[in-house]
Structure 1
Amino acid sequence: MRLGARIFKTGLSVTLALYVAGWLDFQSPAFAALAAFFAVQPSVRKSLTLIWDQVQANVLSAILAVVFVLAFGQEPFVVGAVVLLIIAIHIQLKKEAIIPLAVVTAIIIMGSPTTDFMELAFNRFLLIMIGVFSAFAVNLVFLPPKHENQLYHKITDVNDDIIQWIRLLLHHEVDYRTLKEDLKKQRDQLNKIDETYLLYKDERGIFRKQEYATLRKVVLFRQMIRSTRQAHRILENLTMNDNLIHQLPEDMAQTLRLQLDDITNYHERILLKYAGKVKPHATEDYYEEVSSGKKVLMTGFLKTRNDSDFEETDWMTFLPVVAQVIEYCDDIEYLDRLVDRFYNYHTEDNEVFIKERSDY
C-alpha cells in the first residue's frame, strides 16, 4: 500500500496540533488533533482559500453553541438542533466543504461541563483553532503536491493502453474478454485523472506570475485529457462495431487503419514533446499526414455508401465512428498547437516539472 502526501500531512498536522496544545498547557489536546484532522486540505491553494472560511465557521459554530447551551441547556435535542442549523447555514452560504469542521466545533463546545462553562468553551474553541492553524501551517510548508507529475503519468499510462487496444482491434488480434475488462479499468482511470486534474487546477501558485504560468498548463492538461477521452470513445465504438469493421471494403478498412495508426502515433509524440523527450519539430510530419488523411478517410467512407457489399444501415451505423476519428484528429492537432505555443511564448515562465515515476 502506498501512502500519499495528504496522509502524511494529516499525520503531521495532528502531531503538531498535539505538541502546540501541550506546550500551551491546554487540557484535552485531543480536540486540537481532531480539528487538525478535519482541516487538512489536498492542496496549498485550497488551504489558503479555505482558512478564512474555516475561522469564520468555527466562530459562528462557537457562538451558536454557547447561545443555545446558555438558553436551552445541553440536552441531546439541543445539540441536534444546533447541528442542523449549522448545516443549513453553510449550505445556504455554499460553504459545504467546511461543514464537518463546523459541526465538530459545535459538538465539542456543547459537550463542555456546565461548571465554568464559558471558560471551558473558550478553551475548547482555542484548541480547535490550534488544530486549524496547525493543519494550515503543515499544508503550506510540508510535502507540496506533485499533481503535474502525477497527472502527466496517469494520462500517458491510460493513453498508451488505449492506443495499444485500438491497434490490436484494427488488426483483429483482440481477446475480447480482456478488452472489456480493460475498458472498465480505463473508465476508472479517466475518472481518477479528472480528480487529479481538479487538484492540479487548484495549485495555481501564490504569486500572480506563478498563477499565469500554471493556468497555461491547466489549459494544456485539459486538452490532453479531452484527447485521451476521445481516443477511449473511439476504442469503445470500435469494440461495439467490430463486426462492421470486418465488413468494410478492403480499401476503406486499410484507410481507417492507416489514419488511426497515424493519429495515435501523433498523439504519443505530442505527449513526449511536452515532456521534452522529442525534438520540438518532431510532430510536423505527423501533422501533415493526419491532416491529409482526414480528407482521404472521409472521401473513402462516402464512396462506400455505393458499395453493394456494404449495406446502407451498416453505413449509417458506422458513420459516427468515422466522425469521431475526425474529431479525434482535430483534438490532437489542437493539442499540438497548444504545446508549440507553450514552448514558443513566455519561455521564461513556462517550466515543465515531469520526472520519472521512481522520483515521485
Structure 2
Amino acid sequence: MTIGARVFKTGLAVAVALWAGEWLGLDSPLLAAITAIFTIQPSIYRSWMQVLDQLQSNVLGVAIALVAFWVLGSTPISVGLVCILVILLCLKLKIEDTIGLTLVAVVVVMEARSQGWPVALDRLAGLLLGISSAFLVNVAIVPPRHRGRFMRLVQEGQELLSRLLRTSVSNELKESVFREEQEKLESILKKLDEYYRMFAEERVWLRRSRIRRSKLLIVYKEMLLTLRRGESLVEAVEEQYWAVSSEASWNEAADRHIEALCGYHEQLLWKWEGKMKPGAASAAPSLEDGVLLTERITASAADAVTRSRLLVITSSMFAYEDRLRRLDRLIDHWQLRERGDDDETPTVPAREKRERERAKEGEGAAKG
C-alpha cells in the first residue's frame, strides 16, 4: 500500500487548518478541518475553481441562514426548510459539488446564531480558513504532475492491449483471465481520460508555452484514441471471430497483421520516449497486408454472414492502423518541432539559406 500525494496533502491540509484555527483563537477549528477535506482536489485548476465555488455557495448559504434565523428562528423545521432552499439554489447555479459543505455552513451558522454574532462569525471564519488552507497546501506541496502519470498509464495500457490482441485470435488465455485483462484495460482508459482532462485544464500564461502545450495535447489525445481503437479491435474479434468458422489461411494472415500492428504501436511509444536509434523508422505494416485480408474474404466460398463478420474485424484493423499511422506522423512533427526543424522554428542553416535566397532576389531586382 502506497501513500499518494493527494492522500498526504489531505492529511496535511487538515493539520494546517487545525493549527491555524488554534493559532487564530477560533472556538471551532474542527470546522476548518472538515472544510479542508472537502476542498482538496486532484489538480491546481480544479482546486482553484473549488475555492471560488465554495466561497460563492458558503457566503450565499450563510446569508440565507442569517435571514432565515431572523424570520423563522432556529427550529428544526426552519433549518430543514433552509437546507432545501440552499440545495435548490446550488443546483440552479450549477455548483452541485459544494452542496455538502454549504449545508454544513447553514446548519452550524443557524445553530450558532442563537448564541450571538461572535459565535456565528467564528464559524464562518472557520469555513474560510479551511478553504484557504486546502488551496495553499495543494499549490505549495507537491503540485500535481499529470504528464508523467499519463505516459505511465499509456505504456501500461499499450502492454495490456498488446497482450489481449496477440491472444485474441490464438485463444491462449483463459476466459476468466481474458475478461479480467479487458476490465483492467477499460479502467486504465478511464483514468487516462481523467488525467487528460486535468492536464488540459491546467493554465499556461506564456504564449510560447501555450502553443507547445496545445501541440502536446494533440499527441496525447491521439495516444488515447489509438488505445481506444485497439480496444475496439479486441471487442470486434471477440464478438465476430468466434461466431463463425473462417479459413485457416485468413486466420494466419489476420494473426500476422495483428502482430505487426502491436509491434508498430510498441515502437511508436519507443520513438516518443527517445529509445530508438537516430534515423530508425517505425516498422509500419505494409498497406498491402490489409488489402490482401479483404481480398481473401471476398474470394472465399464462405456464406454472406461469415464474410460480413470477417469484414467487421478487418475494418476494425484498418481503423486501428489508421490511428497508429496518424500518431506516427504527429510524433514525427512534434520531435521535429522540438529539434527546431519545422517551419515555425527553423534551424540556423535553414535561416541562412533563406537569407541567401532573399539576397539573391534583391540583387536580381537591383540589376533589373
TM bucket normalised to smaller: 0.7 to 0.9
Correspondences of 1:145-160 after superposition (within 5 Å): 145-160=144-159
Q: How far does residue 211 in structure 1 lie from its aligned partner after superposition?
A: 4.1
CA distance, structure 2, for counterparts of residue 169 and residue 10 of structure 1: 43
User: Structure 1's 61 and 280: CA in aligned 2 closer, same or farther, altered over 3 A?
Assistant: farther
Partner of 2:36: 36
In the alignment, structure 2 segments of 5+ residues that lack a partner are 341-368
Q: How far does residue 236 in structure 1 lie from its aligned partner after superposition?
A: 2.1
CA contact (8 A) 1:66 1:121 kept: no
Report the TM-score when normalising by structure 2: 0.85
Q: How far does residue 205 in structure 1 lie from its aligned partner after superposition?
A: 4.1
Partner of 1:278: 276
User: Structure 1's 102 and 115: CA in aligned 2 closer, same or farther, altered over 3 A?
Assistant: closer
User: Structure 1's 207 and 76: CA in aligned 2 closer, same or farther, altered over 3 A?
Assistant: farther
2:259 counterpart of 1:267: no
Correspondences of 1:214-253 after superposition (within 5 Å): 214-243=213-242, 247-250=246-249, 252-253=250-251
2:298 counterpart of 1:305: yes
CA contact (8 A) 2:150 2:195 kept: yes
Partner of 1:175: 174
User: Structure 1's 83 and 280: CA in aligned 2 closer, same or farther, altered over 3 A?
Assistant: farther
CA contact (8 A) 2:33 2:130 kept: yes
CA distance, structure 2, for counterparts of residue 128 and residue 99 of structure 1: 14
Q: How far does residue 338 in structure 1 lie from its aligned partner after superposition?
A: 1.7
Q: How far does residue 203 in structure 1 lie from its aligned partner after superposition?
A: 3.0
CA contact (8 A) 2:9 2:137 kept: yes
Q: How far does residue 342 in structure 1 lie from its aligned partner after superposition?
A: 1.9
CA distance, structure 1, for counterparts of residue 87 and residue 97 of structure 2: 11
Partner of 1:91: 91
**In structure 1, what residue type is equivalent to 2:39?**
A
CA distance, structure 1, for counterparts of residue 207 and residue 92 of structure 2: 31
Partner of 1:73: 73
Bigger RCO of structures 1 and 2 (CA < 8 A, at least 6 apart): 1
Partner of 2:198: 199
Q: How far does residue 98 in structure 1 lie from its aligned partner after superposition?
A: 2.3
Correspondences of 1:278-297 after superposition (within 5 Å): 278-279=276-277, 281-284=279-282, 286-287=283-284, 290=285, 292-293=286-287, 295-297=288-290
**In structure 2, what residue type is equivalent to 1:94?**
K
Aligned residues: 340
CA contact (8 A) 1:36 1:131 kept: yes
The structure number with the bigger radius of gyration is 2
Partner of 1:108: 108
2:341 counterpart of 1:341: no
Q: How far does residue 40 in structure 1 lie from its aligned partner after superposition?
A: 1.2
Q: Which segment is superposed worse, 333-342 or 30-39?
A: 333-342
Partner of 2:5: 5
Q: How far does residue 159 in structure 1 lie from its aligned partner after superposition?
A: 1.6
CA distance, structure 1, for counterparts of residue 76 and residue 187 of structure 2: 42
Q: How far does residue 109 in structure 1 lie from its aligned partner after superposition?
A: 1.1
- Identity within the alignment, %: 27
**In structure 1, what residue type is equivalent to 2:26?**
F
Partner of 1:213: 212
User: Structure 1's 82 and 214: CA in aligned 2 closer, same or farther, altered over 3 A?
Assistant: farther
CA contact (8 A) 2:146 2:199 kept: yes
Partner of 1:132: 131
Q: How far does residue 328 in structure 1 lie from its aligned partner after superposition?
A: 0.5
User: Structure 1's 204 and 325: CA in aligned 2 closer, same or farther, altered over 3 A?
Assistant: farther
2:57 counterpart of 1:57: yes
Q: How far does residue 249 in structure 1 lie from its aligned partner after superposition?
A: 4.6
CA contact (8 A) 2:69 2:113 kept: no
**In structure 2, what residue type is equivalent to 1:142?**
I
Q: How far does residue 173 in structure 1 lie from its aligned partner after superposition?
A: 3.0
CA distance, structure 1, for counterparts of residue 320 and residue 3 of structure 2: 36
SS at match of 2:112: coil
Q: How far does residue 243 in structure 1 lie from its aligned partner after superposition?
A: 3.2
CA contact (8 A) 1:155 1:225 kept: yes
Report the TM-score when normalising by structure 1: 0.87
Q: How far does residue 206 in structure 1 lie from its aligned partner after superposition?
A: 5.6
Partner of 1:354: none
Partner of 1:25: 25
Q: How far does residue 303 in structure 1 lie from its aligned partner after superposition?
A: 3.9
CA distance, structure 1, for counterparts of residue 248 and residue 314 of structure 2: 14
SS at match of 2:172: coil
